Amino acid sequence: MEDLYREIIIDRYKNPQYRGHLDPNQVQFEDDNPLCGDHIEVTLQVDANGRVTDGRFDGKGCAISQASADLLVESVIGKPLDELKQLSKQDVLDLLGIDLGPVRLKCALLSLKVLKAGVYGLGEASDDLVE
């Protein structure tokens, strides 16, 4: 728990590297966590080979939700979309470098949920996507 607000999380929260909105984009999705008001939008640009060439997130919420979105978007740039479908809860926790209780886990995983729902082209983001 001492590591929950690691420097990287506070730093990415205060100075996000990938905040914004890409237009045009090939993948766009947004969702929120009504319990705490966290909101995340992810936009990706994808080349003809199905590889992510650029990505951005936008939204508001707690440090954990925003920092994890920033780190997640950074981590997927250059990867093929198919690989994004394999991303799991653990991948996000590894990016953050922390362990989280169930309530804060929802904050951390919102961006992954949004990203995967967008990649799969789904109408809604289900919790099953981040199990």
Partner 1 sequence: MSLDIQAIRHDFPILSRQVQGGAGLVYLDSTATSQKPLAVLQAMETFYRQNNANIHRGVHTLAEEATAMYESAREKVAGFIHAASSEQVIFTRNASEAINLVAATWARASLKAGDLVVLTEMEHHSNLVPWHMLAAERQVELEFVPVTADGLLDQDVYRALLARGPKLVAFTAMSNVLGTINPVKEMTRLAHAAGAVVVVDGAQSVPHLPVDVQTLDVDFLAFSAHKMLGPTGIGALYGKKDLLEGMPPYMGGGDMIKTVHLRSFVPNDLPHKFEAGTPAIAEAVGFGAAVDYLQTIGMDRIAAHEGEMIAYALERLEEVPGLKVFGPPAEQKGGVAAFTLDDIHPHDVAQILDRDGIAVRAGHHCAQPLHEKFGIPATTRASFYLYSTPEEVDRLVEGIYKVKKIFG
Neighbours of 7 (CB within 10 A): 8
> Closest CB to partner 1 among 14 and 21?
14
Residue 19, φ and ψ in degrees, nearest 5: -75, 135
Q: Does 1 bind partner 1 (CB under 8 A)?
A: yes
Per-residue mark of binding to partner 1, 3-42 (x: CB under 8 A):
-xx----x--xx-------------------xxxxx----
Q: Is 97 left (phi over 0), alpha (psi -120 to 50) or beta?
A: left
By CB under 8 A, how many residues form the interface with partner 1?
A: 19
Q: Does 97 bind partner 1 (CB under 8 A)?
A: no
Q: Does 2 bind partner 1 (CB under 8 A)?
A: yes
Which one of 47-55, 56-64, 78-86, 120-128 is the stretch in contact with partner 1 (CB under 8 A)?
A: 56-64
> Closest CB to partner 1 among 13 and 18?
13
Tell me which residues touch partner 1 (CB under 8 A).
1-2, 4-5, 10, 13-14, 34-38, 61-64, 103-104, 107
